[in-house]
Amino acid sequence: MNYINPLFAAELAKIPPIVRTELEMYQDIAERIDVLMREQHLTQRDLARLTGKRESEVSKWLTGRHNFTMKTIALISTALGQPIVRV
């Protein structure tokens, strides 16, 4: 059984649905990138090299809190050879 602290639950309930959805989308994108990297046996350093970005930026992408632009998603998709987001 999962126990959730009532205080935490009350604060979580205050988050507007649109913000919660946005955060879930960031997490989903980061998870997709992580899965593709693992499938291709790539490190953060490898993805940084493939995208021309710093390893610290790749690390931020993988936190699940990064505000991805379409350009960044396209860059990562191209580097990994797989779609990150499907519409």
pLDDT digit string (tens) for 11-39?
Answer: 888 999 999 899 899 999 999 999 999 99
- Non-local (6+) Cβ contacts of 81 within 8 A are none
In the chain, the percentage of residues whose pLDDT exceeds 70 is 98
In the chain, the percentage of residues whose pLDDT exceeds 90 is 74
Report, as an integer, the average pLDDT of 55-63: 96
CA distances from 5 to 8, 9, 55 (A): 5, 6, 36
Query: For residues 55 and 48, is the Cβ–Cβ distance under 8 A?
Result: yes
